[in-house]
């Protein structure tokens, strides 16, 4: 997905924010909503990574962590960042049984990666390396800022749409009608979710490709995706369910255990991703030695 398309879709999200504001308070409400959207973007640029990490209770880790598995995970991230010629991100761990991971931060110099304890238990070292190479690809491509911003704006749209229901909306423009308010409460978040989907899906494919090149073992990431998708379908992630707008940050949809979420999933089909990676492996995208874990 080109950067131009991403910027257009971010503008669409901002426009949705303005439409909801108009439904609540007419032209004045729309202007206020657009000002809030701009303020949200500025605030998100500087603080979104901290917000998301705090939301998931992610804890920084290093080589002194008491868990050997966590220490090894931190070492793998550092080795991959060095190999990719990138600044080393802050490495964090999340106490959660669902296997998953994400990256966040406004640029490669201010990035963090997070993995769940469930992921470390489920995957072997090469598969963990495949996942973290994918997350570093998001950092290199500067997807982390875009995806976190869309998650924040989409969450704000949902909150604002709920205000339209509870506060009656702008009567001069039909906002005071209960049907109009209900429609706004339903369709504004839905529209925001579709925009999130359009932004996220292309970026996941690209991060798979770049991550596979960083590691040099596409099949390792393919194997990891299969295990993570199976685990996410069986094990709920309560934080993600409470904040579904953050689901697009994860390597696999954390809401996939609820079948209805797949209709507008921000992630492409896991099977399609695996098939692409295996084609890369068949085409010879491989290093002689992927790393100490290879």
pLDDT confidence of residue 7: 67
Buried b vs exposed e over 111-131: b needs ≥16 C-beta within 10 Å? bbbbbbbbbbebbebbbbbbb
Instruction: Indicate whether 252 belongs to any domain.
Output: yes
Instruction: Write down the catalytic residue from 125, 135, 204, 245.
Output: 135
pLDDT per residue as tens digits for the range 63-105: 788 899 999 999 999 999 999 999 999 999 999 999 999 999 9
pLDDT confidence of residue 69: 94
d(CA 73, CA 89) in angstroms, rounded, equals 13
**Dihedrals phi, psi of 86, to nearest 5 degrees:** -115, 155
Closest CA relative to residue 249, chosen from 31, 86, 56: 56
Q: Are 248 and 196 in contact (CB under 8 A)?
A: yes
Instruction: Indicate whether 292 belongs to any domain.
Output: no
Report the mean per-residue pLDDT for the chain: 81
pLDDT confidence of residue 177: 55
Residue with tokens 């949200």: 40
Q: How many domains does the chain have?
A: 1
Instruction: Indicate whether 160 belongs to any domain.
Output: yes
Instruction: Indicate whether 170 belongs to any domain.
Output: yes
For residue 184, the enclosing domain spans 3-282
Instruction: Indicate whether 230 belongs to any domain.
Output: yes
pLDDT per residue as tens digits for the range 24-36: 666 766 677 677 7
Instruction: Indicate whether 41 belongs to any domain.
Output: yes
Instruction: Indicate whether 287 belongs to any domain.
Output: no
Instruction: Indicate whether 211 belongs to any domain.
Output: yes
DSSP readout, 225-272? HHHHHHHHHHS--HHHHHSGGGGGGBSS-TTTTSGGGGGG-SS--HHH
- When pLDDT is averaged across residues 206-217 and rounded to a whole number, the result is 94
Catalytic site residue 288? Answer: no
Is pLDDT at 155 greater than 50 in this prediction? yes
Q: Which of 84-93, 153-162, 270-279 has the lowest mean pLDDT?
A: 153-162
Is pLDDT at 113 greater than 80 in this prediction? yes
């Amino acid at each position: 997905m080109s950067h131009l398309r991403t910027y257009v879709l971010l503008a669409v999200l901002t426009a949705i924010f303005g439409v909801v504001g108009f439904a609540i308070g007419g032209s004045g409400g729309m202007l206020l909503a657009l000002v809030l959207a701009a303020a949200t973007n500025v605030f998100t640029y500087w603080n979104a990574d901290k917000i998301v990490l705090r939301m998931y209770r992610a804890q920084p880790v290093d080589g002194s962590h008491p868990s050997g598995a966590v220490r090894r995970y931190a070492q793998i991230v550092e080795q991959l960042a060095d190999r990719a010629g990138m600044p080393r991100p802050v490495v964090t761990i999340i106490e959660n049984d669902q296997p998953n991971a994400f990256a966040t931060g406004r640029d490669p110099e201010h990035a963090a990666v997070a993995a769940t304890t469930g992921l470390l238990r489920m995957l072997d070292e090469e598969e963990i390396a495949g996942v973290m190479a994918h997350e570093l690809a998001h950092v290199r491509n500067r997807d982390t800022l875009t995806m976190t911003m869309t998650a924040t704006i989409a969450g704000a749209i949902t909150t604002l749409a709920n205000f339209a229901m509870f506060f009656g909306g702008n009567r001069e423009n039909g906002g005071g009608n209960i049907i109009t308010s209900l429609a706004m409460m339903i369709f504004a978040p839905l529209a925001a979710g579709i925009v999130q989907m359009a932004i996220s899906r292309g970026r996941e494919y690209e991060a798979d490709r770049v991550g596979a090149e960083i590691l040099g073992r596409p099949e390792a990431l393919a194997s990891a995706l299969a295990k993570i998708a199976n685990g996410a379908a069986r094990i709920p992630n309560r934080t993600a369910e409470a904040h579904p707008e953050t689901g697009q940050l994860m390597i696999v949809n954390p809401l996939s255990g609820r079948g209805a979420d797949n209709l507008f999933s921000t992630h492409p089909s896991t099977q399609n991703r695996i098939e692409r990676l295996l084609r890369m492996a068949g085409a010879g995208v491989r290093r002689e030695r992927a790393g100490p874990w290879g």
